[in-house]
Structure 1
Amino acid sequence: MLCTASYSIANEEKVFFSSVWDSFDNNTDDVPISNSFRYRTSKELNGSAYWGLRHHYSGGGYVANLGNTKLEASTVSATLKKYKWIDDYTTAIFIEFSIYNANTGLFNLVMLVIEFAAGGDVVSHANIDSVQLYRYNGANGVFSLLTEIGCLIFIVVITAMEIRRLIHEKARYFTNGWNLIQLITIVFFLVAMSMYAIRSVMTQRLITIMMNNRESVTNFQAITLYNGYFLLFLGGVSFFVHIQFLHVLRYVQSIALLTSVLTSYMKDMLGIGYATVLILFSFTTTMALCFQQVEGYETFYMAFGSSLSSMMQKFDFLKVTEATGLPGGAFLLIFVTTMKILVINFLISLLNETLSAIKQKRETWAKDTEVMDHLKHMIVSMITGEDSKGQRTY
C-alpha cells in the first residue's frame, strides 16, 4: 500500500515530466515530451479555481485531449493507460466536454469530477451548466439587445437620482431603511452588470478561438463561473425589488398591516434568528463530521442544505440509519425536533403576539389606506354609474 500526503494547492505538483512520470531537465530539447505530462496553469487553460467535495483545486494540471471522435478518444485513453497517466499520486480527474443544441442555441457544459482521497476512498460528482453564447442572433436577439439597452438606461437614471438624493440629504439618507434597501439593490445591479460584461467579453473571445480553430480545446469553465456570479447577484436584485413592493403598496390595508408587523417584530426576530443560526451551525457541523458517508452530507455546504431540508420534513431516515446506525438516526430526529419545537414555534408565538399588539393600534395608523378605498370607489362608480351609497351619478 502506497501512502501519499493529503492534497493542497501549496503542495501541488507543477513540474514537467516525460512518459511514465519520469522527471527530465526542462532545458534539454532532445527529450521527447507528451503534452499530457506537461503541467499547464489555469491561465493557460482559460480556467478557474474549483471547489470539489474533498479539496479546493487551482484550476491547473495535466491535460489530455481526447479528440472529437470516439475512435480518437479510445486511442488516447489506451495510450494514457499504457503510460500510467493515472497513478497512485493522482488526486482528481476532471472530464470536460460540451454539446451544442442548435434548436435552442445553448451550449451544454458537462464536467465529471472524480476525487481520490489520501485514505483510498473515491467520490465523484457532476456539474451540468447551460450557456447561450450566441445571444443576439435572430429576432429574439434583437429584442434581447433592445431590452438590455433599456435596462442600462434605466439603471443609469435611477443611480443618478439616488446620488443626488444622497448629496442632498447627506447623513439623513442612511436613517431611512428603504433608502438602504434601494442602495443595496443598485449596488447589486451594478455588480451584476459587471459580471455580465466580463462574461460577454470572454464569450466573444472564446467564439473567436472556436471559429479560427475548430479542432482546439475550448474551456467554458470561466464563463460558467461568471455566469453563476451574474445569476447570483441578479437574484439578489430580484429579492430586494420584491421587498420594495411592500413600500410601494403601503396604501393597501393588508400590506400596511404586514409592514407594521415586520417592523415591530424585527428586534425580537433578530435575537431568535441569532440563536437559530448558532443551533443550526452546531448541528450541521456535527452532521458534516459524522455523516460523511451519507449522500447529501459529504461536505459542510451539502450538510447545511440537507439540514434545511430536514427542517421541512424532507429527509431519508432509513438511509441515515443504515449508514450510521441507530445513534445517527436518533441524532437526526433530535435535530428535527429541536428546530421545529424550540425555534419555529417560538417564531410563530412571537409573531402572533406582535400581530395582536398591532391590531389594537390600528386606529393610530396613517390615513394612507383610505387612498386605495377612494380609488376603488371611483373605479366602481365609473363602471356601474353608482356611487358608494348606491345612488346614480348621472
Structure 2
Amino acid sequence: FMEGPLLEGLYWDSWYNNQQLYNLKNSSRIYYENILLGVPRVRQLKVRNNTCKVYPAFLSLMSECYDRYTAGNEDVSDFGLKHDREWKYSPPPANAPWHWGLVGVYRDGGYIFTLSKSKSETKAKLADLRLNSWTTRGTRVVFIDFSLYNANVNLFCVIRLVAEFPATGGLLTSWQFYSVKLLRYNTRYDYFIASCEIIFCIFLFVFITQELRKLNEFKSAYFKSIWNWLELLLLVLCFLAVSFYAYCNMQNFLLLGRLLENTDGYPDFYILAYWQIYYNNIIAITIFFAWIKILKFISFNETMSQLSSTLSRCMKDIVGFAIMFFIIFSAYAQLGFLVFGSQVDDFSTFQNSIFAQFRIVLGDFNFAGIQQANWILGPIYFITFIFFVFFVLLEIQGAERMKAWKERLEKKYYSTEIQDDYQPVTQQEFRELFLYAVELEKELHYISLKLNQNRRGGEKCWCHYSPHSTVKEQMMHCFEINEGETPKLPGLEEDQSCLLKGSTRSSVSRKSVDLQIHNVADYERNLIVWMASLLQLIKWNSKDF
C-alpha cells in the first residue's frame, strides 16, 4: 500500500492529460486544489519479545511471544540499521495526546521517518525499509500523518491513516479526517465574528463578577439552588472555551511560522486539530446547558410549573425505579455478553451489550443474529427482556408519573386549607381559583336540582340558586362576609329537611339520600373555602384589575 496507492495519492505533479502542473514551488497539489503542507510522516510502535508467557507444552513450537500493546510492553530499544533515525526510538512529547484505536490505546513517539518531496526518493526509501524489515512481529501499529490546506474554503484537513496489528494476527485499518478552520480572520464576516467574541468575553467577565457578589452575599445558601450550580457550570465551560481558543490561535501562528521557514519538515497539525475538536465539544456542551437555563426563565408558565412540580413529587419514586431498572438491565447485559459475545458483534463487549439493549428498547435489534448464535437462549433472552424491561418497568415508570400528577391536582384543587395570607399569588393562579370556584358552584347547583327531582309528592324544595342568575349575583346572594367571619352558604338545612321528608314517599333509599346529602355537603364546604379565598384575593389584587 505504501509503495503503491499511498505514493500515487500523495504526489500529484501532472494534469489528467499528463501535462505538467503549474508552478508547484516544490509542493504537491492533491486533487489539484489541496496543498500538501510539508512532508508526510510515518511512525510505528512495537512491543518487546517475551512480554507474554507461552504454555510449557508449546515452548518447542513457539519460543517468541509478543503481547498486545501497552505502555509497559512497548519496545524502546534501537534495532536494525541504527545509524538512521527511523531505526531509533523517539520519546513522545510531554503534551501529546494518545490515540484510541480499534484494539488498543497508543501514545505518541516511536520509530519515525519522514517522506521526501520527491516521489522517486520516497519510493526508494520505502523499498529500503521493506528490505531491512522495518516492521517486525513486534509491530503493533503504524501511523501515516499528513496535513492539507485548501485556500478556496480556508480549511485545514489533518489526516491520520492507521494500520493496527493485533496480537491475534491480521491487520485492522482505520482513519481520522479533521477538517478545521485554523486561520479564523480573513474576511469581513470573520472580523465581525471577532467583535462578537470580544463582546462575549466582556459579558463573561461581568457575569463572573455578579456571581462572586452573590456568593459573597448568600454564602453557603448560594449552593442550595440548582440554578446557581448551573450558572457556575456555564461560567466554567465558557472560561475553558476562551482558554482553548486563545491557546489554539497562539499555537497556530507559531506552527505556521515554523512551517514557512522549513517546508521540508513535518508540521504537526494533529495536536492543533485535536485541541480544536475539544474546543468545539466544549462550545457544544456550553450551548446545550445555556438552552437548559431557559427553563429557569419560563418556570412561571403553567405547563412548565406543572411539569416541574410533577417531577419533584415523583423524584423519590424515579430514583427507586432507576435502581431497579439498572439491576435488571445490567443482569440482561451480562447475560447477553456471556452467551452471545463470542459470535455476535453487538455483544462482543459488556459496553456493546448495554448499547445493544438500548437499541432493542428503541426497536433496532438483530434478532436473527442472537437466534443463530444460540437457538435456545436467544429467543428466551429476547422475549423476557422485552417483557420485563419494555412492558413492565417502563409502564411502572409511567404509572408513577401519573400518580404524582394526580396527587398534584388533588392537592391543588381539593385541599381544604386556606393559603397563607402573605403568600404571593400570580394572576394565572388567581384566574384558576376563580374559574374553579365557578365550576364548584355550578356542580352544587346541578346536584341540588338532581336531589329535588328525586322527591315525590306535592312539596317542592329547590336550591336557592337560579340557573339564569350570573355568578356575580349568586355570590352577592349567597355570601355576606365581614372581617374575621367565615362565609356561610344558606339553604342547606332546608334542603336536607325537605329531602328527608320527600324521601319517605319516594322509592329512593335512605342510604342513597344520605350519600347524596353528604356529596352536597362536601361541595358546599369546598365552595365556601374557595369563595372565601377568592374574595380575599379580590381585595388583595384589586389594583391589578
Q: Distance in 2 between matches of 1:139 and 1:349?
A: 57
Tell me the residue number matched to 2:312. 263
Tell me the residue number matched to 1:139. 188
Tell me the residue number matched to 1:59. 108
> Equivalences for 1:329-344 in 2 at 5 Å?
329-330=378-379, 331=381, 335=385, 338-344=388-394
Tell me the residue number matched to 2:361. 311
Q: CA deviation at 1:59?
A: 1.7
Q: Distance in 2 between matches of 1:196 and 1:292?
A: 45
How many residues get paired?
359
Q: Distance in 1 between matches of 2:282 and 2:68?
A: 35
1:108 correspondence with 2:157? yes
Q: What percentage of residue pairs aligned between the two structures are identical? A: 25
Q: Distance in 2 between matches of 1:130 and 1:73?
A: 26
Tell me the residue number matched to 1:40. 90
1:3 correspondence with 2:61? no
1:192-227 deviations in whole A, cap 9, x for unaligned?
Answer: 333333333333332222222223212233223323
> Equivalences for 1:180-259 in 2 at 5 Å?
180-259=229-308
Letter in 2 for 1:127: Q
Letter in 2 for 1:174: F
Which has more radius of gyration? Answer: 2
- The structure-2 alpha-carbon separation of the partners of 1:95 and 1:315, relative to structure 1 and needing over 3 Å to count, comes to farther
Q: Distance in 2 between matches of 1:191 and 1:353?
A: 43
Q: Distance in 1 between matches of 2:331 and 2:164?
A: 27
- The structure-2 alpha-carbon separation of the partners of 1:338 and 1:250, relative to structure 1 and needing over 3 Å to count, comes to same
Conserved? CA contact 1:53–1:298, under 8 Å: no
> Equivalences for 1:154-173 in 2 at 5 Å?
154-173=203-222
Conserved? CA contact 1:196–1:226, under 8 Å: no
Q: Distance in 1 between matches of 2:159 and 2:378?
A: 35
Residue in structure 2 matching 1:350, options 400, 406, 420: 400
- The structure-2 alpha-carbon separation of the partners of 1:83 and 1:239, relative to structure 1 and needing over 3 Å to count, comes to same
Q: Distance in 2 between matches of 1:296 and 1:96?
A: 31
Q: Distance in 1 between matches of 2:232 and 2:108?
A: 35
The gaps in structure 2 that reach 5 residues or longer are 1-61, 414-418, 432-545
Tell me the residue number matched to 2:341. 291
Q: Distance in 2 between matches of 1:139 and 1:296?
A: 49
Conserved? CA contact 1:17–1:33, under 8 Å: no
Q: Distance in 1 between matches of 2:136 and 2:143?
A: 15
1:133-163 deviations in whole A, cap 9, x for unaligned?
Answer: 1111112320221121111111111111111
The gaps in structure 1 that reach 5 residues or longer are 20-31, 374-394
Q: Distance in 1 between matches of 2:328 and 2:308?
A: 28
1:243-294 deviations in whole A, cap 9, x for unaligned?
Answer: 2211101222212222222222333223333444444455556656653665
Q: CA deviation at 1:91?
A: 0.9
TM-score in terms of structure 1 length: 0.78
* CA-atom RMSD in angstroms: 3.2
- The structure-2 alpha-carbon separation of the partners of 1:283 and 1:215, relative to structure 1 and needing over 3 Å to count, comes to farther
Q: Distance in 2 between matches of 1:172 and 1:151?
A: 29
Q: Distance in 1 between matches of 2:389 and 2:140?
A: 38
Q: CA deviation at 1:71?
A: 4.8
- The structure-2 alpha-carbon separation of the partners of 1:186 and 1:4, relative to structure 1 and needing over 3 Å to count, comes to same
Letter in 2 for 1:53: L
Conserved? CA contact 1:114–1:124, under 8 Å: yes
Q: Aligned to 2:395, what secondary structure does the other structure show?
A: helix
1:34-78 deviations in whole A, cap 9, x for unaligned?
Answer: 22222222218x732122232222222112323456555544432
Q: Aligned to 1:254, what secondary structure does the other structure show?
A: helix
Tell me the residue number matched to 1:28. none
Quick check: 63-72 or 227-236, which moved more?
Answer: 63-72
Residue in structure 2 matching 1:177, options 221, 226, 238: 226
Quick check: 223-232 or 332-341, which moved more?
Answer: 332-341
TM-score in terms of structure 2 length: 0.58
Q: CA deviation at 1:126?
A: 2.5
Q: CA deviation at 1:351?
A: 1.9
Q: Aligned to 1:259, what secondary structure does the other structure show?
A: helix
Q: CA deviation at 1:12?
A: 0.8
- The structure-2 alpha-carbon separation of the partners of 1:174 and 1:117, relative to structure 1 and needing over 3 Å to count, comes to same
Q: Distance in 1 between matches of 2:172 and 2:129?
A: 22
Q: CA deviation at 1:106?
A: 1.9
Q: Distance in 2 between matches of 1:120 and 1:65?
A: 27
Conserved? CA contact 1:284–1:307, under 8 Å: yes
Quick check: 274-283 or 178-187, which moved more?
Answer: 274-283
